[in-house]
Amino acid sequence: MTEFSTPYLRFQNVSVNYAKHPALSEVSLEVERGEFVFLVGRTGAGKSTLLKLLTKEVDAAEGTIDWDGTEIRRVGVFGIPKLRRSMGIVPQDFALLPRKKVWENLAYAMRAAGATRRQIRRRVPEILERVNMVHRADAYPDQLSGGEQQRVAIGRALVNDPPLLLADEPTGNLDPEHSIEIMELLVELNRKGTTVLVASHDVLVIERLRKRTVTMSEGRIVGDSKTDPVTQPMLDLELEPEPSPVEIPVVVETAAAAPVSVSSENAKEVTDPLPISAEDAPEDTDPKENADV
Amino acid sequence: MFDRLFFVLGETFTALRRNLGLAFAATGTVAASLYLLGGLFLAYSGISRYADGLSGRFEMRVFLKDGITVPQIKWTAEKIRSFEGVRQVNWIPRDKAWEKYSKENPEIARGLENPFPDSFKVILSDLKKGDEVSERIAKLPATDPDGGVQYLRDEQNLIAQAKDALKVLGGMVGGLLATIAAVLIFNAIRLTVLSRRIEIRIMKLVGASYATVYTPFLLEGAIQGALGGLVAAGLLALTHRTIGEALKSFSALSQLPSLPYNDLTLALSGAGAFYGVVCSAAALYRLQLRYR
């Protein structure tokens, strides 16, 4: 970016309140076209709220949000559908129609968005190809693995061929193997030009992909690997979200024992076999798989 | 355009199919309330028409004193015509009256002198004014003070009361049933919204237009209402035919007026559809189904 160029996406001193409780406080963030950004932080840190500001699910109390020349706060109620058609949204819970096949789920979304039958016939196979689900096109959602279901959800987010993809905890319901698979798919889409914003607390996946990571805590941005690479990914570990009950004391203890610069190898050590979680884990389970919950 | 239309219609029928039981209940209640309201309206207009027809039969006979002159008769006729509620006043000269009676009953009339006085036949335009008109005629100087005014007071009052009762009954029972129908349509739409929350969410995720999201719910209400109206029209036609058949065996009674079936069907299904849309809109508003 040159000194005078405008960022693709810019939050400037944005604040959001939920029933007078501050959800975001004076957040400022800039994202370039074609960037891949992870928003990380504990539950309630404000990462989902940041995404919802873009989709107009939430209105900002203060500040400005510019996206590719559009001042999002100025988009009125009747402008929301058009706004949403220009971005792809991937929810955590897949939101697939259980009685429709994979291709029908995509076709349904396209029809809802106003596509003609001809457009659907042409586009659905393309999308299936992009998310590597051609071979499962005739399967029903309950016949798919979690990763496959999320692939379909990502495919649905692509029906409008959006330049911006927003994913809110896309791997929240997936095991580590499928989480990596999904993130790799998002990276692949990013490689083809789509700007991707992902809210996630999946430390291992974030570590592995080595993308820009913006860390949030209590409604504020407390770290950004683009401007402050040293602090990454330590902040992720400190903000390890929603650990299972048996792991809470261990995570807290480890984080306290090993404060700042922890590398990805260290991250494995931190979450590797621990007395309590190892006891609870099935014998044939790889302990690394339990590291991320 | 047709793709969008088919999509919206498909969504509507999917929604109806999902809550078939409640949709039936809502349609049935709309049908019952419209049947009752429509039936009462038809009965009311039938009785009104009947009463209007009867006003000729419920004429007043005004007998005049003996020895009244023609100018006095003319003056009295003009006076009666000026009373509110009077449509027509005809003078029946005593000679003409006797002549007619003698023709109809020659054996009785033979050898008798004409006992008839001069009289008026007064036809009312408003049955409710009967008593008032009667009292005013009785006070006129030419009117025979001893039973000079004769008319079917009780019968006229009965018809007026029947019309009032129908109005009240229609308002109360019809209103109650309409309220029940509103609650059922309202709940049917709310259940539909709940049962289709994934579809609604997907539509919002991909930026479906407001019309695409909301129209199926409004159409669902309209269809329930319109079907209720059709059923009500069918039931009314059936009832009309049944009563008509029953009346045929009583030749003394007049036949039912014909039912404007096409107009009735259009009116009832239109009213039902409008009612359904209003109830659906209320349900959507209550659910605050915002585009969020």
Domain map (residue ranges) of chain A: 1-86+162-239, 96-160, 243-293
Chain A hits for B203, CB-CB cut-off 8 Å, are 112
The Cα of A152 is separated from the nearest Cα of chain B by a number of Å equal to 12
For strands A164-168 and A195-200, give the pairing: parallel
Of B199, B205, B208, the CB nearest to A89: B205
* Tens-place pLDDT, residues B130-152: 788 888 998 999 888 887 888 77
B-contacting residues of A 123-182, CB under 8 Å? 156-157, 159-160
* Tens-place pLDDT, residues B213-232: 889 888 988 998 899 999 99
Residue A285 has what pLDDT? 34
Instruction: Collect all residues with Cβ–Cβ distance below 8 Å to B149 and sequence separation of at least 6.
Output: B60, B61, B62, B63, B134, B137, B138, B143
* Tens-place pLDDT, residues A117-162: 899 999 999 999 989 999 999 999 999 999 999 999 999 999 999 9
Is A170 strand, coil or helix? coil
Among A46-55, A127-136, B184-193, which stretch is predicted with the lowest mean pLDDT?
A: B184-193
Residue A266 has pLDDT above 60, yes or no: no
The Cα of B200 is separated from the nearest Cα of chain A by a number of Å equal to 10
Interface touch A77/B291, C-beta < 8 Å: yes
Interface touch A84/B206, C-beta < 8 Å: yes
Residue B258 has what pLDDT? 76
* Tens-place pLDDT, residues B81-128: 999 888 889 999 988 888 888 888 888 888 888 888 899 988 887 777
Say what the ipTM of the complex is: 0.73
Chain B hits for A159, CB-CB cut-off 8 Å, are 206
Nearest Cα residue in chain A from B195: A97
Interface touch A56/B7, C-beta < 8 Å: no
Tell me the average pLDDT across A171-177: 84
Residue A242 has what pLDDT? 43
pLDDT category of residue B39 using cuts at 50, 70 and 90: confident
Interface touch B207/A117, C-beta < 8 Å: no
Residue B63 belongs to what H/E stretch?
strand B60-63
B240 forms beta bridges with none
Whether B198 and chain A come into contact, CB under 8 Å, resolves to: yes
pLDDT category of residue A5 using cuts at 50, 70 and 90: low
Residue A288 has what pLDDT? 35
* Tens-place pLDDT, residues A88-124: 999 888 899 999 999 999 999 999 998 998 999 999 9
CATH number attached to the domain at B59-151:
3.30.70.3040
Residue A267 has pLDDT above 60, yes or no: no
Whether B210 and chain A come into contact, CB under 8 Å, resolves to: yes
Tell me the average pLDDT across A63-79: 91
Chain A hits for B290, CB-CB cut-off 8 Å, are 77
Residue B56 has what pLDDT? 54
pLDDT category of residue A270 using cuts at 50, 70 and 90: very low
C-alpha pair distances (Å), A169 with each of A46, A96, A109, B232, B290: 12, 16, 21, 53, 24
Q: How far is CA A264 from the centre of its chain?
A: 20
Q: What is the C-alpha separation between B235 and B252, in angstroms, rounded?
A: 27
Residue A292 has what pLDDT? 28
pLDDT category of residue B57 using cuts at 50, 70 and 90: low
Dihedral sign, Cα of residue A244, residue A245, residue A246, residue A247? positive
pLDDT category of residue B269 using cuts at 50, 70 and 90: very high
Residue A1 has pLDDT above 50, yes or no: no
Residue B202 has what pLDDT? 92
Interface touch A109/B206, C-beta < 8 Å: yes
Chain B hits for A96, CB-CB cut-off 8 Å, are 198
Residue B252 has what pLDDT? 53
Residue A265 has what pLDDT? 37
Residue B195 gets which letter from DSSP? H
Residue A36 has pLDDT above 90, yes or no: yes
Among A28-37, B18-27, B55-64, B145-154, top mean pLDDT goes to: A28-37
Fold that domain A1-86+162-239 belongs to in CATH: Rossmann fold (3.40.50)
Q: How far is CA B122 from the centre of its chain?
A: 27
Residue A280 has what pLDDT? 34
Nearest Cα residue in chain A from B11: A112
Residue A121 has what pLDDT? 93
Nearest Cα residue in chain A from B209: A81
Residue A270 belongs to what H/E stretch?
helix A264-271
Query: Peptide bond before A233: cis, by omega within 30 degrees of 0?
Result: yes
CB atoms within 10 A of CB A153: 27
Tell me the average pLDDT across B244-255: 67
Residue B174 has what pLDDT? 75
Q: How far is CA A38 from the centre of its chain?
A: 7
Q: What is the C-alpha separation between B287 and B194, in angstroms, rounded?
A: 10
Q: Where are the alpha helices (H) located in chain B, listed in sequence order? A: 2-18, 20-57, 70-81, 94-104, 106-109, 130-138, 153-169, 175-195, 197-205, 210-248, 261-286
**For A207-234, b where at least 16 C-beta lie within 10 A, e where not — what string?**
bebebbbbbbbebbbbbbbbeeeebbbb
Of B201, B207, B212, the CB nearest to A82: B207
Residue A251 has pLDDT above 50, yes or no: no
Tell me the average pLDDT across B188-205: 84
Residue B153 has what pLDDT? 67
Tell me the average pLDDT across B242-246: 82
The Cα of A79 is separated from the nearest Cα of chain B by a number of Å equal to 9
Chain A hits for B208, CB-CB cut-off 8 Å, are 81, 112-114
Is B97 strand, coil or helix? helix
* Tens-place pLDDT, residues A178-236: 888 899 999 999 999 999 999 998 888 888 888 999 999 999 999 888 777 655 544 44
- Contact (Cβ atoms closer than 8 angstroms) between residue A216 and residue A40: yes
Is A36 strand, coil or helix? strand
Q: What is the C-alpha separation between B266 and B273, in angstroms, rounded?
A: 10
Among A68-72, B130-134, B255-259, top mean pLDDT goes to: A68-72
Domain map (residue ranges) of chain B: 2-53+157-286, 59-151
Tell me the average pLDDT across B180-191: 79
Instruction: Collect all residues with Cβ–Cβ distance below 8 Å to A222 and sequence separation of at least 6.
Output: A215, A216, A235
Residue B290 has pLDDT above 60, yes or no: no
